[in-house]
Amino acid sequence: MTKLSVNINKLATLRNARGGTIPDILQAARDIESFGADGITVHPRPDERHIKYQDARDLANIVTTEYNIEGNPIPAFVDLVLGIQPTQVTLVPDAEDAITSNAGWDTLNHKEYLKDVISNFQEAGIRTSIFVDPDPAMVEGAKATGTDRIELYTESFAHAYSQGDMKSIDPFKEAARIAHECGLGINAGHDLSLDNIRFFKENIPHLLEVSIGHALICESIYMGLENVVRMYRHRLRS
């Protein structure tokens, strides 16, 4: 069974555009869980342009499913996560000025750094996942860091699939095979949508979790949040 974790960053972006508390991020998390999502994801960045650090803290008292916090493990982020102790932390190597995540970790060159950060979180009982490209060497390198899971960075698949390239799934199939053989759990995310999620799920064995935000929130503008969450659940379970 593949779990659906809904990234609510875009709801915070909308709130921050006007200030105030509309939409209410905490109520949105409650509603999304009630609609059937298996988890809530947030990705606070240093400039707090969408999810704020205080949002992440407040959500810890709201989320009753799995709580996943993503981010670059700068000291402030590490302190935030250790203070909250979510179900999972996903480490992403995004620059402070990045609009969105745009690459996976170089798990070979950053092996020792990642080992230190990951062990710190694991000692606190937090499951760890690291963002990686579908590169066999990077997946094998992830194993050496001690991480519990990887999250496959799926932007290249999503773009190619939208152009009709079905073979774009092949590197991800191979990466997932290697990860499973290494004993790593497999998550995925970035630009997955209602259009491509079923194909991705059907072709990636042992897929534990997908984290979806931008597409899901955009689709909800037209079809409604409850309906869209249920549509994703159906595609992930069919």
Set 66, 151, 190, 209: catalytic member: 190
Q: Give the list of residues 6+ apart from residue 237 with CB closer than 8 angstroms, or none.
A: 1, 2
Set 33, 70, 209, 219: catalytic member: 70
Task: Quickly count: other Cβ atoms within 10 Å of residue 220's Cβ.
Answer: 19
Is 190 a residue of the active site? yes
Residue 150 gets the label, from left (phi > 0), alpha (psi -120 to 50) or beta, of: beta
Backbone phi, psi, residue 84, to 5°: -85, -40
Residue 199 CA to residue 182 CA, distance in Å, equals 24
Set 43, 50, 151, 209: catalytic member: 43
Is 110 a residue of the active site? no
3-state DSSP call for residue 197? helix
| Count of positions (residues) in the chain | 238
Is 43 a residue of the active site? yes
Alpha helices, DSSP H only, in the chain?
9-18, 25-34, 53-59, 75-84, 111-123, 136-145, 155-162, 170-181, 197-203, 214-223, 225-237
Q: List 66's β-bridge partners, or say none.
A: 39
Question: Is 210 in contact with 192 (CB distance < 8 Å)?
Answer: yes
Question: Is 9 in contact with 32 (CB distance < 8 Å)?
Answer: no
Catalytic residues: 43, 70, 190
